[in-house]
Structure 1
């Protein structure tokens, strides 16, 4: 798993809006785990701790008319798209003002042009259908589907890649490869490579090893232009998962998690751009505290 760690280079200075969004997602996720510990939430949740930079880097490259399909670890995808902490927390807590009336919970969210699901691979055929519709009715738009390395064990992935290649669909498959599927390391569940599997269907593949948002955007801008022109692409992020699979089931040795923390964007950015980081981090913490107090006081949905 630690083989997936990107090289710990200095991170470039971000615009305040970008860093603030990453910090908001970070503290939103930490807050959820704290609420579970206090017995204030039911069910489960899957945080994106460590992976916040992925949707933040991608979102400005997506148009409002593009369709986004998320997965069980999708809070960051949703918040990067809509910046709607109130609605998402209300959904998870089952309070009024929830995104889906409190019936979708943490994993199943729907808004126009956005859908998440907790079923592995379920969104990919839907994303292909959306991409086909966009190709026919809104040329230049695309469908973006987020999946993890574990989802490559699902047949729906390959059925989708097959049709996307045959029909030249504007489909962007974003793989957040954090090296572990629940509790199974990638080397024990994934034969070959993700690049090789994409190539088998004639689908392009682009590997992202950086955690620098500015660098990622510059790297992916021409890739998304290809997708919009009808060339489906798999973009694989080598990333890491700091938190447990769900709310408390981390089976990794403590030293492995500690190494991930030391190489995480949060610690590295705090060191590289301390003043900006401290200012925005304080603001994000205060914002999430205030939102939690306000949403917690709402009646049940």
Structure 2
């Protein structure tokens, strides 16, 4: 099946109660991303940013499946990947705003982050070859670790992706390829840029593929636990395709989708599903997350500008 921006996806009816920590993390990411858009609208941020609104559950679901020695390679829409890994909204916001305490002294900004065991790039297609190289180093050095690389469906039009898949398959690299397939590449619906399917393209290299068609964090963990362990233990590459949705614009306010497509995306938001099913737990977690992000924004805006020696 080829997903499009208008593919009907039911609101997940199988949502199960989350641990408070997981729900709070989901909502910290949600409020962080929402506040970024508000700060841009208010003229408090420069440059650009790409939020993961609607896709927050993906890195949160994967969090306990990844070990401390595993490496994460993220993309342009990577704030949620970072926050699920490090729980550091202050450092991330300082980086985006160029303030003291920034992860990379304000040099990397929204898209290009580096911290031990984590890096991101806004260059489409670049991350998979980098991740393959790190995975090769892991294997040659005998490290019992994998590399998890996030990418979108639009990146599957890049030739570097297939060179990296070829090497990953031939060399049996511990490479976990996580595809957040939201049905649209910037402003182009999937059928207009992707011939065939992601599963078919993975199969061409004899790389295993799994489709995740739920937003329930507990179900995703149960579905992927064994497969992720196989990537690390055998080792072997694996493509996991998440059937997800993008709620916000591509970047800041540039949403070219028709109003009905945006409304359909919001109708299947995981956040609404959890709020409807577990209202008391949701209200408490939402309040805690909102208060935390409000405090972070107030703090970071008052900090001096970041400095960088260039060394």
Common fold: TM-score over 0.5: yes
Structure 2: distance between partners of 1:248 and 1:199: 37
Q: Alignment partner of 1:235: what SS?
A: strand
Q: Does 1:204 align with 2:195?
A: no
Q: Alignment partner of 2:7: what SS?
A: helix
Which segment is superposed worse, 95-104 or 254-263?
Answer: 254-263
Q: Does 1:119 align with 2:123?
A: yes
Report 1:241-280 matches (<5 A): 241-280=246-285
How far does residue 261 in structure 1 lie from its aligned partner after superposition?
A: 1.1
Kindly indicate whether the alpha-carbon contact (under 8 Å) linking 2:148 and 2:175 is maintained by their aligned counterparts in 1.
yes
How far does residue 169 in structure 1 lie from its aligned partner after superposition?
A: 0.4
Kindly indicate whether the alpha-carbon contact (under 8 Å) linking 1:50 and 1:240 is maintained by their aligned counterparts in 2.
yes
Q: Does 1:33 align with 2:33?
A: no
Picking from 118, 127, 133, the partner of 1:129 is 133
Structure 2: distance between partners of 1:168 and 1:132: 9
How far does residue 257 in structure 1 lie from its aligned partner after superposition?
A: 1.1
Specify the alignment match of 1:214 in structure 2. 218
Specify the alignment match of 1:284 in structure 2. 289
Q: Alignment partner of 2:51: what SS?
A: coil
Q: Alignment partner of 1:175: what SS?
A: strand
TM-score normalised by L of structure 1: 0.98
Structure 1: distance between partners of 2:291 and 2:142: 41
Q: 1:155 to 1:4 in 2, by over 3 A?
A: farther
Write out per-residue CA displacement over residues 185-240 of structure 1, whole angstroms, 9 at most, x where no aligned residue. Answer: 00110000000000001111000001000000000001101211211000000000
Structure 1: distance between partners of 2:143 and 2:99: 39
Kindly indicate whether the alpha-carbon contact (under 8 Å) linking 1:4 and 1:239 is maintained by their aligned counterparts in 2.
no
Specify the alignment match of 2:309 in structure 1. none
Structure 1: distance between partners of 2:55 and 2:218: 15
Picking from 104, 115, 132, the partner of 2:108 is 104
Cα-Cα RMSD: 0.9
Q: Alignment partner of 1:174: what SS?
A: strand
Q: How many residues align?
A: 301
Structure 1: distance between partners of 2:90 and 2:58: 22
Kindly indicate whether the alpha-carbon contact (under 8 Å) linking 2:11 and 2:267 is maintained by their aligned counterparts in 1.
no
Structure 1: distance between partners of 2:206 and 2:224: 19
Report 1:1-301 matches (<5 A): 1-3=5-7, 5=9, 8-228=12-232, 229-301=234-306
Which segment is superposed worse, 130-139 or 168-177?
Answer: 130-139
Kindly indicate whether the alpha-carbon contact (under 8 Å) linking 1:127 and 1:143 is maintained by their aligned counterparts in 2.
yes
Q: Alignment partner of 1:3: what SS?
A: coil
How far does residue 262 in structure 1 lie from its aligned partner after superposition?
A: 1.6
How far does residue 260 in structure 1 lie from its aligned partner after superposition?
A: 1.4
The gaps in structure 2 that reach 5 residues or longer are: 307-311
Kindly indicate whether the alpha-carbon contact (under 8 Å) linking 1:147 and 1:174 is maintained by their aligned counterparts in 2.
yes
Structure 2: distance between partners of 1:109 and 1:64: 18
